[in-house]
Amino acid sequence: MKLPTLEIEKDSNGFIDPTKASEALDKTESLVMEMKKDSKHSASIVTGDVTGVIQRQAENTDTEDFCCSSEQDVMNILDCQSALDTDSPWSVMIPSEAFDKAHLESNKSAFVVILQFKNMRNTNETNIYTVLNNETYGITMGTKISNLTDNIEMSIKQKNMVGKASCVSWDGIGEVNWTTSGCETEIDSNNTIKCSCSHLTFFAVLMSPPDVNSTVPDLETLTFITSIGCGISMFFLAVALFMHFLLRKAKSNQATKILMNMFVALSLLNVSFLSNESVANTGDNAACVFIALLLHYSMLASFTWFFIQALHMYLWLIRQNVSITNYMRKITVLGWGECEQQNIY
């Protein structure tokens, strides 16, 4: 059965709008309802740069794995027993567990929709990575499917593969923001890229140039070392602040107050730096802006308090007779207030 084509808008450069692609994937549930009325169990979708297939499993029957392949802009349903032997450039296996979850979540007959989008706009794409073959695949069952124990398996065959391949996914919200979370990548000796993912959404394979690949292990190692260093720094700063407030018996002198303010600024810098990646991974724009402002402010505060510490030592050791009215209040405003003004402007 061939259903009416989907209308998906393109931008002025001929790229498919990611938001429209996500909406089109959601709207395919209405096509499934049409199939149910006509007692059809499978259908193909063809429209411009989008091809796809819909499979509706029969009611009151045991669910089975579903396999299909894509070749020459046509998607074909396969027998999963022979799917591994196919020569198709792309193939996918949806486990029966996903159909069972979909049936329990929606209390309807289980179905799967697979759409292949070519030339989907990706504002985050740079010369560091590209989407393999400019192909993005959207898979939905009409409800959220995640945490599968029997993963979705995708295979992409490449004759000449240059660079490193990474299987990624996108949740279909806003602009494309690829993540490797929930997907594992394996490349066999025949240059077949195998993606194993525990959820349903949009999928693609990102290719990184060879010169970028060689730096990835180093980057991970340096990031780990930096995190350990910041963690140790935070620990001893916390110990110093705790001991100061616990053991002080008299009013602190000016040098100690300046030192404690510097410790607070450094602690704030370490906290914002260590939480930076975790906040960025949430994809929350407001949280990202907040952590960026906090990181910028705490860094300026740290530099300023280092300067104040040096200035105080100069006045104490060299200019011993200098007397400044409201000295601590003024340097506190300089250390914390001036940094805020620099951050704003």
Backbone dihedral region for residue 166 (phi beyond 0: left; psi -120 to 50: alpha; all else: beta): beta
Rounded average pLDDT over 136-155: 90
The pLDDT score that the predictor gives to residue 268 is 92
User: Measured in whole angstroms, how far is the alpha carbon of residue 190 from the centre of its chain?
Assistant: 29
Whether 4 shows a pLDDT value over 80: the answer reads no
Least confident of 105-119, 172-186, 206-220: 206-220
Whether 183 shows a pLDDT value over 90: the answer reads yes
Rounded average pLDDT over 5-24: 76
Q: What does DSSP assign to residue 280?
A: H
How far apart CA 167 and CA 42 sit, in angstroms, is 28
Whether 145 shows a pLDDT value over 50: the answer reads yes
Give the pLDDT band (50/70/90) at residue 152. Answer: very high
* Contact (CB, 8 A) for 169 and 126: no
Contact residues for 22 (Cβ-Cβ < 8 A; gap 6+)? 138, 172, 173, 202
CATH 1.20.140.10 fits 216-344, yes or no: no
The pLDDT score that the predictor gives to residue 168 is 92
More confident residue, 22 or 73: 22
Q: State pLDDT tens for residues 248-285.
A: 655 668 888 888 999 999 999 999 988 888 887 777 78
Give the pLDDT band (50/70/90) at residue 52. Answer: confident
Q: What is the mean pLDDT of the chain?
A: 81
The pLDDT score that the predictor gives to residue 303 is 92
Span between the terminal Cα atoms of the chain, in Å:
62
Amino acid type, 182? G
How far apart CA 190 and CA 208 sit, in angstroms, is 19
The pLDDT score that the predictor gives to residue 83 is 59
The pLDDT score that the predictor gives to residue 173 is 86
Rounded average pLDDT over 64-82: 82
What topology is assigned to 18-210 in CATH? Chondroitinase Ac; Chain A, domain 3 (2.60.220)
Encoding tokens for residue 137?
């695949």
- Other C-beta atoms closer than 10 Å to the C-beta of 296 total 14
The pLDDT score that the predictor gives to residue 232 is 92
Whether 127 shows a pLDDT value over 60: the answer reads no
Q: What does DSSP assign to residue 189?
A: T
Q: State pLDDT tens for residues 282-324.
A: 777 888 889 999 999 999 999 999 999 998 888 888 877 667 7
* Same fold yes or no, 18-210 and 216-344: no
To 5 degrees, how large is the angle CA 327–CA 328–CA 332? 120
* Contact (CB, 8 A) for 218 and 225: no
Torsion angle, CA of 93/96/99/105, rounded to 10 degrees? -130
The pLDDT score that the predictor gives to residue 342 is 39
Q: State pLDDT tens for residues 89-101.
A: 888 999 989 988 8
Query: For the chain, what is the radius of gyration of the CA atoms?
Result: 29
Taking the domains of the chain in order of start, what are their residue ranges? 18-210, 216-344
